[in-house]
Amino acid sequence: MAILRTEDIRKMNATEHDEELDKLKQELIRERAIASAGGAPESPGRIREIRRTIARIKTIRKEPKK
């Protein structure tokens, strides 16, 4: 799953935001499970990037509409 940038997120509608959030949350759960089981993650910075992307989506959803 590619990390989304702000301009990509702003182009999405509300249903796409919801779908993307669900995908990212599932991926975060999977990555955390691997890390907690003692396994080496595929990419060490992946958890951080997923969390930041989730925060970006939530922030953009809360912005007032112009």
**The pLDDT value given to residue 65:** 78
Q: What is the CATH number of the domain that holds 55?
A: 1.10.287.310
**The pLDDT value given to residue 1:** 61
User: What secondary structure does DSSP assign to 1-66, as a single string?
Assistant: -PPPPHHHHHHS-HHHHHHHHHHHHHHHHHHHHHHHTTPPPSSTTHHHHHHHHHHHHHHHHHSPP-
Write down the pTM of the prediction.
Answer: 0.87
Alpha-carbon distance of 48 to 11, in angstroms, equals 23
Q: Within a 10 A sphere around the Cβ of 63, how many other Cβ atoms?
A: 8
Q: Write the pLDDT tens digit of every residue in 9-40.
A: 999 999 999 999 999 999 999 999 998 998 87
Number of domains in the chain: 1
Is 14 part of any domain? yes
Residues of the domain holding 43: 6-62
Is 24 part of any domain? yes
Residue 43 DSSP one-character state: S
Is 13 part of any domain? yes
